[in-house]
Structure 1
Amino acid sequence: MDTATGRPHIRVGIGGWTFAPWRGSFYPPGLAQAKELHYASRQLTAIEVNGTFYSTFQPATFAKWHDETPDGFMFSLKAHRRVTHRRVLATAGDAIARFVGSGIAQLQGKLGPIVWQLMPSKRFEEEDFEAFLALLPREVDGRRLRHALDVRHESFATPAFIALARRYGCVPVCTDSEKFPAMADAEADFAYLRLMRSQADIPTGYTSEAIAQWAAGVRTWTGGERPRDVFVYFINGAKERAPAGALELLRQLA
Structure 2
Amino acid sequence: MTGRADAGAMGRGPALASMGLAVAAVAIAAGCAAQFTAMPALFLGHIAAMCACWCLMTAGSVVYSMAGFWPATGKNKDTARKAHAAIQSTAVLAALVGYLCIFSNHRLVGGSQFGFDPGNPPAKTAHALLGYVVLALMLLQAVQGWQKFLGLQVGKIRHLAHPLNGRATLIIAAINMALVLTTFPFLSQALFLTLAGGIPVISVLATVLAGPLGKASARELPDPLEGPGYQVLE
Task: Give TM-score, length-normalised by structure 1.
Answer: 0.24
What TM-score, normalized to structure 2? 0.25
Q: Which structure has the highest helix share of the two?
A: 2
Larger radius of gyration: 2
Higher relative contact order (CA 8 A, sep 6+): 2
